[in-house]
Amino acid sequence: MTSVSPPAPATTLPAPLPAHRAGFAGLMLAEWTKIRSVRSTVWTLIIFAVVSLGLTGLLTWLTLSALNNGRRRASAGGIITDPVNFILGTGLGLGQLAIAVLGVLVITSEYSTGAIRSSLLAVPRRYPVMLAKALVFAVLVIVVGEIVAFASFFIGQALVNGHVVTLHGVQAGHVISVNHTITVGLSQPGVTRAVVGSGLYLTVLGLFALAIGGLIRHTAGAITAVIGMVLVIFPLAGLLPANWGAHVHAYLPTVAGQLITADKPTGGQLLSPWQGFGVFCAWTALLLAGAIVLLQRRDA
Amino acid sequence: MIEAQDLTKRYGDKLAVDHLSFKVEPGRVTGFLGPNGAGKSTTMRLILGLDRPNTGTATIDGRRYAELAQPLRTVGALLEAKAMHPGRSARNHLLFLAETQGLPSRRVDEVLDLVGLRDVARHRVRGYSLGMSQRVGIAAAMLGDPSVLLLDEPVNGLDPEGILWIRNLMKHLASERRTIFVSSHLMNEMAVTADHLIVIGKGKLIAESSTQEFIERSSEKSVLVRSPDAEALAGLIAAEGGKAIPQDPAEGRAAALSVTGLDAPRIGEIAAANRIVLHELAPQLGSLEEAFMEMTADSVEYGGDTPAVPQETAASTTSPGSSQ
């Protein structure tokens, strides 16, 4: 408990500066103050960076060691056939959950603490709060996300480049050994787009989570919903039967959104990387619009 | 000026505010009084646009709250429920509010000085006492130097010094022609703070009058008279238009009368003119809290069994506002 200095006598306050309209820039400044002034933001972003970079380095190194020792499991194959996708998929694949959690928290923490009432008293038209919040959060995630995506790539690149793998095959009754040197670089087709795309994907994922948080308004519920969708429901939809199942799966938010993070298309891919990203953006815009409609209607 | 017109708010099948209309004028402290659950907080939330009324409108200087471009420069509000992130410092809480209104950050320091929290402003709100949190809320309300203030139970959690401070602050702000609307469930607190009272119960308006009028009206005035010649005095009082009710005689003391309809000086004059000895002549005022409880008795939301009030307490002399 900190001590309080004795209350000042009630004196006339100097009047505030002459009227100066804050406008939307003021709201963005306010949202930036909000987001930077709670520890959960800093911690979540640190966890995101540490998990993403650490896992990228660790899993790449472990997989290469396994290959060196002649152990070659199916999961290790990716590092040979599509090393860029392997590098960007491992660490960021788990790190993305931190971004999803932060996206939920920036809105649900206002509801759980009651700070939303202060926010809405200051901005009774309400929807500008959500727009400013989404915009400020998007800028934050795109900056941090791109830095971490490029750093992940460079860590992976440093580990895999020049690595020689001996591949064994059987051809015409003879066992043939071929030495394959793994090389990745930003100049290879699709690679720069995949790295930049990873940061973009994380940004839209953060906004997707923010929208879900705005709709559900409860931290635990919204986090469960977002992570459940990203890790379980959407991937499982890939098991849907027949052609229609494949179409449904391809258009699911994060399934479509992740296409932009891959440098090479996979077989039978229904959408191009940018189309997939567009589908993800459309889903997110729709959910944000829904969150705004409910914000306008519901009692705070 | 705050104007509520025909406000109704329903939560599910529970009617929180029931066709409530009133006006809150500038230049005085208006107390908003009612038992717990009477709908005071809900009414304030309706005025502030946090909740949407089912019927009716609430306006501030003729405009709905949502229509105010920089609302904190017109209206300051302290809500009963916490409206702060505990992980954020008081300074940052006030700073983001100031930024939404285009107020300079030095204004934040000014209001922190006003509430005496400058030294702890960079600490997280989590570690604040209830009283300190209230002060942050008051600082937030004063941020835009508003002409209208709504304070929901502002003395909650404050120590006597804090209560005195806020009472003086409200009176001072009212003297500057601001509109001060303050809710409380404590009649005695309102009796010394408010100039005007709006009393509600179960979401309905029960009474609206000046505090003075309210005190006079609700304190039933009677005079206790003790005299060895009570019977003769009772007859004279009745002849003058008063009503004298004989009280249970106390052992070893002269008979007593409870007189209504005549004030103490008049009774004394009657006794003197007729050479009747008086042992006691004491004006009785019912306590304000009792009057308030009686008035709202039918509308208490969460009533328990009221313990019988001991006779002694009920008959004790209380001048309005003196009890704290």
Catalogue the E-assigned strands of B28-73: 28-33, 55-60
Instruction: Please write the tens of the pLDDT for every residue from A139-154.
Output: 999 999 999 999 999 9
Q: How many domains does chain A have?
A: 1
Query: Does B38 share its domain with B114?
Result: yes
Q: Classify residue B291: in a domain, yes or no.
A: no
Distance from CA of B160 to the nearest CA of A (A): 12
**CB contacts, 8 Å: B49 with chain A:** 120, 124
Is the CB of residue B57 less than 8 Å from the CB of residue B96? no
Query: Does B55 share its domain with B176?
Result: yes
Average pLDDT over residues A267-273: 88
Q: Classify residue A291: in a domain, yes or no.
A: yes
CA distances from B69 to A126, B66, B100, B149 (A): 12, 8, 11, 17
Query: Does B192 share its domain with B247?
Result: no
Query: Does B9 share its domain with B130?
Result: yes
Q: Classify residue B201: in a domain, yes or no.
A: yes
- Identify the CATH number of the domain in which residue B163 sits: 3.40.50.300
The answer to whether B49 faces chain A, any CB pair under 8 Å, is: yes
Instruction: Please write the tens of the pLDDT for every residue from B46-83.
Output: 999 999 999 999 999 999 999 998 899 999 999 977 89
Q: What is the C-alpha to C-alpha distance for residues B42 and B11, in angstroms, rounded to an integer?
A: 10
**Residue A246 belongs to what domain range?**
24-161+192-297
A1 to B85: CB separation less than 8 angstroms, yes or no? no
Query: Does B26 share its domain with B84?
Result: yes
Query: Does B237 share its domain with B144?
Result: no
**CB contacts, 8 Å: A13 with chain B:** 110-111, 114, 142, 145
Residues 136-165 of B with CB under 8 A from A: 140, 142, 144-145, 161-162, 165
Q: Classify residue A186: in a domain, yes or no.
A: no
A2 to B176: CB separation less than 8 angstroms, yes or no? no
Query: Does B114 share its domain with B250?
Result: no
Residue A2's nearest CA partner among B133, B68, B270, B231 is B133
Residue in chain A lying closest to B9 (CA): A299
Alpha helices in chain B (DSSP H): 40-47, 90-100, 105-115, 130-142, 160-175, 187-193, 211-218, 230-239, 264-273, 288-295, 311-315
Distance from CA of A165 to the nearest CA of B (A): 52
Residues 6+ apart with CB under 8 A from A191: A84, A184, A185, A263
Whole-angstrom Cα Rg for chain A: 24
Q: Classify residue B279: in a domain, yes or no.
A: yes
Q: Classify residue A72: in a domain, yes or no.
A: yes
Q: Classify residue B101: in a domain, yes or no.
A: yes
Query: Does B17 share its domain with B122?
Result: yes
Q: Classify residue B145: in a domain, yes or no.
A: yes
Instruction: Please write the tens of the pLDDT for every residue from B251-294.
Output: 778 888 888 888 888 899 999 999 999 999 988 766 677 777 77
Q: Classify residue B91: in a domain, yes or no.
A: yes
Which tokens belong to B115? 């509430």
Lowest mean pLDDT among A1-10, A88-97, A161-170, B289-298: A1-10
Query: Does B108 share its domain with B27?
Result: yes
Query: Does B229 share its domain with B213?
Result: no
**Residue A162 confidence (pLDDT) above 90:** no
Q: Classify residue A19: in a domain, yes or no.
A: no
Output the pLDDT for position A189: 92
Instruction: Please write the tens of the pLDDT for every residue from A16-29.
Output: 555 567 789 999 99
B73 to A16: CB separation less than 8 angstroms, yes or no? yes
Query: Does B164 share its domain with B240?
Result: no
**CB contacts, 8 Å: B87 with chain A:** 38-40, 113
Give the mutation candidate from A4, A123, A297 for the B interface (greatest B CB count, under 10 A).
A4
Average pLDDT score over chain A: 90
Residues 169-208 of B with CB under 8 A from A: 169, 172-173, 176
Q: Classify residue B307: in a domain, yes or no.
A: no
Q: Classify residue A286: in a domain, yes or no.
A: yes
Instruction: Please write the tens of the pLDDT for every residue from B153-183.
Output: 998 888 899 899 999 999 999 999 999 999 9
Q: How many domains does chain B have?
A: 2
**Residue B95 belongs to what domain range?**
2-217
**Residue B190 confidence (pLDDT) above 50:** yes
Q: What is the C-alpha to C-alpha distance for residues A52 and A90, in angstroms, rounded to an integer?
A: 8
Going by their DSSP bridges, the two strands B179-184 and B196-201 should be labelled as: unpaired
Q: Classify residue B311: in a domain, yes or no.
A: no
Distance from CA of A116 to the nearest CA of B (A): 7
ipTM of the complex, rounded to two decimals: 0.88
Instruction: Grade residue B23 by pLDDT with cuts at 50, 70 and 90.
Output: very high
Q: Classify residue A182: in a domain, yes or no.
A: no
Output the pLDDT for position A60: 93
Output the pLDDT for position B199: 93
